[in-house]
């Protein structure tokens, strides 16, 4: 009898707590790859998002924000599990983050079908830009292809006639190669797909050396990039055959490469030295708080926090009316750290892509240096296939 009474009191107490919690705060779920070889990317996204919340004084749009962090470990099935946990158990209003494309492809439908808004700040797989687009999905990053189209364009501008391509054997790797080829007008000597997380590229580097290309283009995120660039430089090729890349030498991998990566040309929607006031503040505070320079993943995630803030300002801090929040997100007028930003009809950004080199900065350290815009106000190639207008 006593036990039953205790139980009832406990249950009522819990119910009361959860009710009051709902009324006071907006719950945001952060789902990213926080462990394993690619963990640094998700970590950058999370740290930048939290910095954004901190800049807004712990509130977004005036509402107290509770960010619940979950790690998908780069496993799509685990990503779905974590997403379901965030939606059903934590009852989040928005989910943000999602580092890798394979996880994004798995969680996109469950999240959008459940009526929860998904603000992706990195992965932008092609199927979601066209026919698979959804009104519940916003991206503050890019369509995977666009990132690589910029380097294809740059290869043309630089006059390279024969290029050799390498990428890992998964969706984003395939998007990388097809995106590059869409804009590149010269001859592709070969496209090589290596195993994901393959540590040693000596065989592939020897093959490409024998093919004698004008330049090579690679897409190797995380530790794969560190491995490849190290080995490419040791084979004596870095000075001889230009290395074009995206997401290979970036803010998360440059600290492991330092001077080894000098001379690498990258295509990126962001560079820490972009000249606008919000970026200056972002880079300075990120360096102070986390003791490292922000990568493009951090910048995109910070933008996501600012986007959500701007949208919540419009809805008066309320997240329960999904349609109002959606409309607010779509129109969101916020200032991106990476330059001009607005949403296309498929809710992917229209933005600039820059050529960013690895060179010595004023203090003699290897750093990212913005060398100019390659593609201005660039939209992805698939937005016309999206049903949203």
- Span of 3-11, 102-110, 194-202, 277-285 interacting with another protein by CB under 8 A: 194-202
Binding mask 228-247 for another protein (x = CB under 8 A): --xx--xxx-----------
Picking from 253, 293, 254, 267, the residue whose alpha carbon sits closest to that of residue 357 is 267
Between 40 and 133, CB nearer to another protein: 40
∠ Cα 127 133 139 (to 5°) = 90
Helix (H) or strand (E) holding 303: helix 296-314
Between 123 and 165, CB nearer to another protein: 165
Phi, psi at residue 189, to the nearest 5°?
-70, -40
Shortest spacing between CB 218 and another protein, in angstroms: 15
Between 10 and 211, CB nearer to another protein: 211
Phi, psi at residue 381, to the nearest 5°?
-85, -5
Shortest spacing between CB 183 and another protein, in angstroms: 20
- Euclidean distance between CA atoms 54 and 282, whole angstroms: 11
- Euclidean distance between CA atoms 135 and 142, whole angstroms: 16
Tokens 């049903």, residue located = 387
Site for another protein, residues 274 to 303, rule: CB under 8 A: 292
| 321 contacts another protein (rule: CB under 8 A) | no
Between 75 and 326, CB nearer to another protein: 75
| 388 contacts another protein (rule: CB under 8 A) | no
Say if CB 145 and CB 178 are below 8 A apart.
yes
- Span of 18-26, 146-154, 255-263, 318-326 interacting with another protein by CB under 8 A: 255-263
Say if CB 180 and CB 208 are below 8 A apart.
no
- Euclidean distance between CA atoms 122 and 184, whole angstroms: 24
| 221 contacts another protein (rule: CB under 8 A) | no
Shortest spacing between CB 40 and another protein, in angstroms: 4
Binding mask 6-35 for another protein (x = CB under 8 A): ----------------------------xx
């Amino acid at each position: 009898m006593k036990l039953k009474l205790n139980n009832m009191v406990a249950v009522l107490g819990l119910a009361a707590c959860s009710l009051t919690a709902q009324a006071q705060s907006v719950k945001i779920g952060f789902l990213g790859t926080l462990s394993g070889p690619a963990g640094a990317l998700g970590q950058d996204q999370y740290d930048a998002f939290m910095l954004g919340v901190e800049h807004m004084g712990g509130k977004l749009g005036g509402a107290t924000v509770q960010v619940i962090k979950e790690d998908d470990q780069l496993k799509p099935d685990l990503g779905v599990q974590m997403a379901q946990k965030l939606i059903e158990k934590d009852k989040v209003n928005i989910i943000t983050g999602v580092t890798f494309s394979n996880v994004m492809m798995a969680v996109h439908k469950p999240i959008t079908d459940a009526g929860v808004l998904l603000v992706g700040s990195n992965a932008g797989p092609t199927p979601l830009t066209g026919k698979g687009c959804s009104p519940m999905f916003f991206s503050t990053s890019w369509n995977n292809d666009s990132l690589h189209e910029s380097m294809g364009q740059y290869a043309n501008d630089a006059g390279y006639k024969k290029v050799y391509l390498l990428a890992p054997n998964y969706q984003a790797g395939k998007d990388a190669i097809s995106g590059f080829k869409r804009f590149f007008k010269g001859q592709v000597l070969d496209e090589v797909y290596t195993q994901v997380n393959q540590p040693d590229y000596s065989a592939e580097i020897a093959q490409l050396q024998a093919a004698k290309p004008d330049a090579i283009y690679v897409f190797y995120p995380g530790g794969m990039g560190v491995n490849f660039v190290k080995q490419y430089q040791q084979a004596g090729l870095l000075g001889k055959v230009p290395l074009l890349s995206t997401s290979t030498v970036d803010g998360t991998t440059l600290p492991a490469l330092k001077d080894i990566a000098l001379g690498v040309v990258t295509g990126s929607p962001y560079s820490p030295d972009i000249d606008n006031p919000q970026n200056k503040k972002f880079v300075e505070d990120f360096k102070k708080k986390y003791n490292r320079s922000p990568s493009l993943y951090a910048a995109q995630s910070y933008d996501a926090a600012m986007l959500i803030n701007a949208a919540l300002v419009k809805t008066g801090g309320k997240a329960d009316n999904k349609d109002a929040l959606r409309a607010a997100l779509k129109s969101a007028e916020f200032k991106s750290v990476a330059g001009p930003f607005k949403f296309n009809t498929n809710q992917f950004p229209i933005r600039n892509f820059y050529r960013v080199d690895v060179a010595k900065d004023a203090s003699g350290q290897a750093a990212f240096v913005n060398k100019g815009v390659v593609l201005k106000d660039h939209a992805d190639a698939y937005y016309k296939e999206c049903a949203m207008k």
